[in-house]
Amino acid sequence: MTQQPATKLLLFASATALATLATTAPAESSNDSLINKLEQKGILSADEAKQLRFESAASDTNLLNQLPASKWKIADSIKTLGLYGDLRFRYEYRGVDNTIGASPDTFYRERMRYALRFGLKGDLVDDFSYGIRLETANNPRSPWNTFGNNTTAGAVTPSDKNTSGIYVGQAFLNWHPESWYEMSIGRMPMPLYTTPMVWDSDINPEGAFEKFKYTVGAVDLFADFGQFDYQDPGSANRYVTGDTFLLTWQFGANVRLPKDMSFKIAPMFYNYAGSGSASSGLGQTFVGQGTSTGANTGIPGGSAQQTLNQEGINNLQIVEIPAEFNFRINQTPLGDLQARVFGDFAYNFEGDDRAAAAYNANRPAFPGMNGPASGKNFAYQVGFGIGSAGPVYGPTQGLVYGSSFKKHQWEARAYWQHIEQYSLDVNLIDSDFFEGRANLEGIYSAISYGISDAILATIRYGYANRIDSQLGTGGNNLDIPGINPIKNYNLVQMDVTWKF
């Protein structure tokens, strides 16, 4: 009997030593659990267990007091803090055939590229959240930099770093005081339900946004309102006092159907407040017929350096109707799959006025035409996508856009797209497929595969032709500038992405 407490204590000490070796810091709950089990099996009496709990707590407190204090200090207002981002590498080919008699009549760019995006996001106290993201390149429609890009004037500079900067891509606050309401302010990820036909997926709009949502049975209703600062006139335009705003008004519904199906539709209206300075491209009349008139473009009349505007936002009152139908295909040889039929339709109510303004701004730029090209006011997209069940899919979500994936997951999607000359704001449309131009139609396809939980491989291909042979291909993009009209366009991209 006199040896029993010593035996009990020896057993407990051995178990405690093993638990201590299995962890680098004391764990009060683990010690308590072990003491409880020893007490339940009768190895320890109630008094002995109570004494050991007291000694264990004292030992843990003493050990914790000896640990060095953390050098990292986080404000009490920050509830969660998360690091996220991606690093992408790309081979890209862009080829253009033009029809203006210039030499050469074929232009192509073949580049090795990289893009880095990284940021912090999380929750704050009192129903606020935040996001800050930095990225390479200052082009709002592209975060990409080019290997070996020599931009230093008058010098040969291998591995030039002149364009390898870091810029603020996102900086926003979100307030969600109720389940049915939220609002954001700042430079934010795209909050609208839209497609790259209308908005390039790399654009992060600036300004304010409000969202209302309400569920009725199997129907999720929502209303989105955006007040985005399109452009500040700048100090050079001192006689212009107000910014130009793009206002968006969207009402939509997501209907959850039986058998893992759903249907989503969300009509949206765009209008502009202010038109910018008359001395800037934004405030001038959109022409879209080429970069300049004269013999160098094959367009008769006018001086050789007379600029034809590619950026004006005059006469734009646009309605857009994106939609998608989702359904699941279970137990296939490739596993459970998620499929989507999707599309988008847009119409500019002032498209004929935009055409008339372009024609009257520079009639010599429209050879062979007796008047404005009316009726060029439509844009549409229709496509199909299929991939592994699990990831969230959408117009700019899924493996093709690298938003979410796991090892061995895959996705393939393709769509046909048609954008007429006076249908959309050419400053916003996707700068990859269609080169950020109007008056083009063609097909886009992509396939992605998750090599691991962190590495994704993607291949994209696009081909487009000019729609109206009497019109240019209005729009402007830094990737292939100054070629207008484009007869046909080829795009090949091969990406490897590390997502973290």
Q: Which single residue is written with the structure tokens 């931009």?
A: 151
CA 294 remoteness from chain centre: 40
What pLDDT is recorded for position 67?
63
| Backbone φ, ψ for residue 370 (5° rounding) | -95, 0
Query: What's the confidence (pLDDT) of residue 356?
Result: 96
The percent of residues in the chain predicted with pLDDT above 90, rounded, is: 61
Average pLDDT over residues 484-493: 93
Which element (helix H / strand E) includes 357? Answer: helix 351-361
pLDDT at 358: 94
Model confidence at 417: pLDDT above 90: yes
What tens digit of pLDDT does each residue of 423-459 get?
Answer: 999 999 999 998 999 999 999 999 999 999 999 999 9
Residues listed for the chain? 500
d(CA 192, CA 199): 10
Q: Is 23 exposed, middle or buried (0-12, 13-18, 19+ CB in 10 A)?
A: exposed
Is pLDDT at 246 greater than 50 in this prediction?
Answer: yes
Residue 70 confidence (pLDDT): 73
User: Would you state the pLDDT for residue 301?
Assistant: 42
Highest mean pLDDT among 5-9, 34-38, 271-275, 493-497: 493-497
Judge whether residue 389 has pLDDT over 70.
yes
**Which stretch of 76-85, 99-108, 331-340, 401-410 has the lowest confidence by average pLDDT?**
99-108
**pLDDT score for 368:** 79
CA dist 345 and 324 (Å) reads 12
Higher per-residue confidence, 105 vs 499: 499
- What is the band of 18 on the pLDDT scale with cuts at 50, 70, 90? very low
Whole-number average pLDDT of the chain: 86
Q: At 52, is the pLDDT very low, low, confident or very high (cuts 50, 70, 90)?
A: confident
Task: Kindly indicate the confidence band of residue 21, based on its pLDDT and cuts at 50, 70 and 90.
Answer: very low
Q: Which residues, in sequence order, are CB contacts of 285 under 8 Å at separation 6+?
A: 309, 312, 314, 357, 358, 361
pLDDT above 60 (res 229) = yes
Residue 296 burial (CB < 10 Å; 0-12/13-18/19+)?
Answer: middle
User: Where is average pLDDT lowest: 52-56, 365-369, 449-453, 466-470?
Assistant: 52-56
What is the full DSSP assignment across 141-183?
TB--EETT---STTS--TT--TT--EEEEEEEEEEEEETTEEE
H or E, element range at 351:
helix 351-361
| 403-429 mean pLDDT | 97
Q: Identify the burial level of 188 via C-beta atoms within 10 angstroms of its C-beta, where 0-12 means exposed, 13-18 middle and 19 or more buried.
A: buried
Predicted pLDDT at 149 = 76
In the predicted structure, residue 293 carries a pLDDT above the cut 50: no
Instruction: Reply yes or no on domain 82-499 having CATH 1.10.3470.
Output: no
pLDDT of residue 168: 96
What are the b/e assignments for 406-421, b being 16+ CB within 10 Å?
A: eeebbbbbebebbbbb
Burial 475-489 (b: 16+ CB within 10 A, else e): bbbebbeebbbbbbb
User: Quick one: pLDDT at residue 296?
Assistant: 39
Q: Using the predicted structure, report yes or no on whether residue 130 has a pLDDT greater than 80.
A: yes
Scanning 4-132, the segments in alpha helix (DSSP H) are 4-21, 28-40, 46-66
DSSP code of residue 236 = T
Q: Is the pTM of this model over 0.85?
A: no
At 367, is the pLDDT very low, low, confident or very high (cuts 50, 70, 90)? confident
Residues in Cβ contact with 117 at an 8 Å cutoff, skipping those fewer than 6 apart: 85, 86, 133, 134, 135, 136, 143, 169
pLDDT at residue number 161: 76
- Return the HEC string of 443-491: EEEEEEEECCCCEEEEEEEEEEEECCCCCCCCCCCCCCCCCCCEEEEEE
Q: What is the DSSP letter of 352?
A: H
Q: What is the pLDDT of residue 97?
A: 85
Q: Tell me the mean pLDDT in the region 206-218.
A: 97
How much is the average pLDDT of 27-38?
Answer: 69
- Could you give the residue range(s) of every CATH 2.40.160 domain in the chain? 82-499
Q: What is the pLDDT of residue 29?
A: 53
Range 163-173 average pLDDT: 92
Q: Please write the tens of the pLDDT for every residue from 297-308.
A: 444 443 444 568
- Confidence grade of residue 151 (pLDDT, cut at 50, 70, 90): low
Tell me which DSSP letter residue 250 carries.
Answer: E
The mean pLDDT value for 165-190 works out to 96
- Given pLDDT bands bounded at 50, 70 and 90, which one contains residue 25? very low
